[in-house]
Every structure is written in C-alpha cells, then in structure tokens.
Structure 1
Amino acid sequence: MKIGFIGTGNMGGAIIKGYLAVNPEKADSIYVYNHHVEKAQILSQELGVHNTESIKELVENTDIVVLAVKPNAFEQVMPQVAASVSVQKTLVSIAAGVSISYLEGFMLRGVGVIRVMPNTPSLVGEGMTSVSRNKSVCEEAFVQVMDLFSSIGRVQEIGESLIDTVVGVSGSSPAYAYMFIEALADGAVLEGMQRKQAYIFAAQAVLGAAKMVLETGLHPGELKDQVCSPGGTTIEAVRSLEKNKFRSSIIEAVHTCAEKSRSMSK
C-alpha cells in the first residue's frame, strides 16, 4: 500500500527513516508533503521518496495518509484532506489530543481512521506507540500501519478510551526518565565521579534495566528483589526511596499527566 506523510518534521521524518531502514525497497511507495517545500525536497532527495506539491496530490496518490502535523494545524489541513479522501483510504493521526470522532467529523462516513500515540524515543528507534482504530479500518491497512510503527520501536493496539493513560505512562514518561537519569548522575557527581561519565553510567543502567523487564518477562518487583541482597547496599537505597515516597510520586505523576491529557482533549 502507498503511504503519504503530511508533515516531515522530527516525528514524521523519524517514522519514514525508521520504516525505510527496515524496508529500503519500499521508498517508491512513500509520498511526502510539507508546506515548507524545501524540507520535503531534502527528504525526497535523501531517501528516494516522492515529493508532492499539494495535499490533494498526496491524498489522491496514496492509500494511507499519515497526519504528522501539530494539533493547531488540523483546522487548516483537514478540509484539504477531506476534499480528496475516499472510503477506500485510511487516515492516521499522530497528534496528541485529536480524537477519532473529531477526524471523522471532517470526512465522509466510512473512512478508516487510526489514532496513534508515539513518543520521542521513536527518533532513535526505541519508541513505544499505541494504535487505536475506528470500525471502518480495513485489516490490510491496519496491518500496514502496525508494521510502519513497529519499525521505530514497539507498538500495541489499545482502545481509544485508554489514550490518556498512554500519554501518562509512555508519551510523557521519557521526561520522567530523563529526570531520573539526571538525578542518578547528580548523586554520582556528589560521590566524586565526573559528570560526563556519570551520565553514561546512569543512562546505561536505566537502558539495561528496561531491557531486562522486556526480555526476561519477569515482574519488575522480582527483578528488583534479585538485586537486593540481605543487609546490602541496594536494599538500603530502596528503603531510602520508599521513605521519600518514590513510587507514590511516580504514580501521581502518571495520574496527573493523564488528567491533563483528558482536559486538553475536551
């Protein structure tokens, strides 16, 4: 299926590059449009994808249209998309706070709509993406979209009612992780390590711990227990974290983030 991208900024460009890194032979099936013409031209020359001169041209030449633009651009972009879209096509949005029903409101009844929530680690091929669809999405298009986003990390289908939870647990959580890494490094600097080296130690430890959760299938609590020797250094550190409400603070952060996402969607 032919895939078109309206918007080729950081996230749109990362998705295209990730997909073609895994499927280099499919460059001819990718179409791009950007109102900053030179950005699309550069991407076209770099990757061998088709550059289009208008949204109309892109929609007419593709089966799946990915809206990789900011939410504030939808009022301008969607009427142009709707003018050319048909029930044979599938619309994909990666914008936060833009619901499936909002997108359906612009188009003919029966157009397939998929709402996607990636996160910024997608830029380095380690993203976590949720995918939600309406009842009009055909199976072929859905499989293609899942394949597209699996090229930049992991992807899971969820009901749209959980989209605000996704924002809290993966969409915004890279920021929490960066804060944790920074704090770990601060602790190492306090103990005498050079800051540049401290960031490497802290970041690699977090990366490795996350990989252990994903690849072993063990409960995070069990993995934590494996590190905590009786009367040892780690359990003393865990005691300190619990005393300072570490886990409670994280739970509250996810909840607060999801609540904010819900209020923005309204």
Structure 2
Amino acid sequence: MCQQPSTPLINHNIVFYGAGSMAEAIVRGMIARSVVASPDIVMLNRSGNDRLAELRARYGVLASNDPEQRAQYLRTAPVIVLAMKPKDAAEALRALGPLLSPEQLVISVIAGLTIRTIQGLLGTHQPVVRTMPNTSSTIGLGATGISFSKEVDEKSRRLALNIFEAVGLTSVIDEDRMETLTGISGSGPAYIYYMMEAMIAGGIRGGLSAEQSTELTVQTVLGAARMVQQTGEDPAALRKKVTSPNGSTQAALEVLDKGEFFETVIAAVNRCAERSREMGAALEKELM
C-alpha cells in the first residue's frame, strides 16, 4: 500500500475507465505523491473481478464492473481517464457520450486515438486531453506527451499536468507532433534496451559473466543518463570529454559510425513515428 500525506492536491473523484498496467502506474504515482486520496480514485472494468479486487486491496481505491454503478461514476466524475484497449474504445466512448456533462474533463491514454476521433465517438465537443505516456511511468520515471483540445481551460490543463507529473516528466506539444514524440519517448525505452542487450552480449563474449556484464551495462546507462540530467551538458559535449584522440573509445565510436549508427537511430525514430501515424489512421477508420 502506498504511503500518502494527509492533504491531496486534487480533492475530487478521478475515474479510470480501464484498469490495465498503465492505469495502475498512474494511480500508484498519484497516491504516492499525494496528488489525490485513494478513496477519490475509481477504477472501472467491464470484467475481471479478481483484477479489481487486487487494485482495491493494493491501493485502497474504489473499483467496480457493475454496469449501473459504472454509469453512475461516469456520470458524476469531474475527471475521466480513458485507459481501455483501443479495440474497446468505440463501443465504450459511444456509450459514454450521453452520460457526460459539458464540464467533465476526459483524459485519454489510448495510443493512436486523436482528439477529433474521441470527440466524434463521444458525440460531443467535450474538453479532451490526449496523452502518450511511456512504460517508465510504472516506476515514476515516465515521459508523457500531452495535447489539449480547445475546450480545455487553464484549470483543467493544470489538473492534467499534475496527474502525469506524478509519474515523471511531462511535455506539452501540438497534437500533430504526437507521433514524433512516440518515436522518441513512447518507443524509446525499447531502443535503449536493445542497445543494452548488445552491450551485455559483448561483455559475455569477452569473458565476463552474464551477471557482471548486466550489472556493468545497467550502471553505465544509468550513469550516462544522470550525467546529462545533472550537468545540463549536451550529450555530444559529454561524449567528446570521454573520447581521447586515437583512444579505445574513439575506436569503438568509429565502428558505430561505419554502421551509420547515428543516422540509423534517426531513421528508427522517423519510422516509428510514421508507423504510429499509419496505425492511428487505421484505428480511426475502423472505429468511425
């Protein structure tokens, strides 16, 4: 159970429509950082009594899959976080629309679903916040992109930012840049993990144990990230500081350059963004 100071930042109900891992990560972060009190969080699911019971026991939140109770929570909550699977979004949002009043804030963590499509499925020009968190949100080190519909007022903007600042860094962007953000922070952890896999394999092939190679790789990546964060220096400047002319680091970087490492990473980011657009368009076509 997360420890919680006595005075929460937000003192009204927040309903999570969907109770998966991302919803849980956000809830855990909000409770741990006293953004909202546990009894003011409601988690809804269409099925999975065991999952809801687990969330109630772990966080002290309210949780339900009863249709009548669900409708009542959705009708009265000032803030609703859409956290269902994309394939379930159309049915859920079409049913949700008639329950809403104009002042209720809708926050989406559904990948690929635009503000226009959300409002279209709801059948109302609801204030909508579209977000793209990443998996590091589960440990409070997430990076979340946030875009707002024109109906979102300043108070609601601040509220949405408070929610996602509980699980890491937030960046407000124009919605048409959301796919680029996906290519960097949304899918970015996978690129780093892939490089770590290669570094670990290199250490093992060079005679280190798997445990040694893993520990050294993890600490190296962690230390490099912290150096950029804490010094405020550009990564290129830090790289130059550890690269002596004709030294071993320069030799290693030359190998990466021969493989066009720099341009390959940029191409990966661009392809991720492009694929995100393709998937979003296919999802919108399917849902509408």
The aligned amino acid for 1:145 is A
Identity of matched residues, %: 33
Q: CA deviation at 1:173?
A: 1.5
Match of 1:189 among 175, 196, 204: 204
Residues in 2 aligned to 1:206 and 1:252: alpha-carbon distance in whole angstroms? 22
- Give the alignment's TM-score, normalised by structure 1: 0.95
Amino acid in structure 2 at the alignment position of 1:130: G
Q: Does 1:225 align with 2:240?
A: yes
Q: Structure 2: how far apart are the matches of 1:138 and 1:6?
A: 22
> Pick from 250, 253, 256: which aligns with 1:238?
253
Alpha-carbon distance change, 94 to 25 in structure 1, aligned in 2, over 3 angstroms: closer
Aligned partner of 1:135 in structure 2 is 150
- Alignment partners' CA distance in 2, 1:102 and 1:24: 29
Match of 1:161 among 164, 176, 189: 176
Query: Which residue matches 1:33?
Result: 44
1:42 alignment partner AA = E
State the partner residue of 1:126. Answer: 141
User: 1:89 maps to which residue?
Assistant: 104
Query: Quick one: distance in 1 between partners of 2:134 and 2:211?
Result: 25
Q: Which amino acid aligns with 2:280?
A: S
Aligned length: 266
Judged with a 3 Å threshold, the aligned counterparts in structure 2 of structure 1 residues 25 and 163 are, in CA distance, closer, same or farther, namely closer
Map of 1:43-192 to 2, 5 A cutoff? 43-52=55-64, 53-54=66-67, 55-107=70-122, 109-192=124-207
Contact 1:64–1:141 (CA under 8 A) maintained in structure 2: no
Please state how far the C-alpha of 1:25 moved relative to its aligned partner.
Answer: 6.1
Return 79-88 or 23-32, whichever deviates more.
23-32
Check whether the contact 1:86–1:108 (CA below 8 A) recurs between aligned residues: no
- 1:203 aligns with 218
Give 5+ residue unaligned stretches, structure 1: none
Unpaired stretches in structure 2, ≥5 consecutive residues: 1-11, 282-288
- TM-score norm. by structure 2 comes to 0.88
Cα RMSD of the aligned pairs, angstroms, is: 1.5
Distance 1:75 1:259 in 2: 23
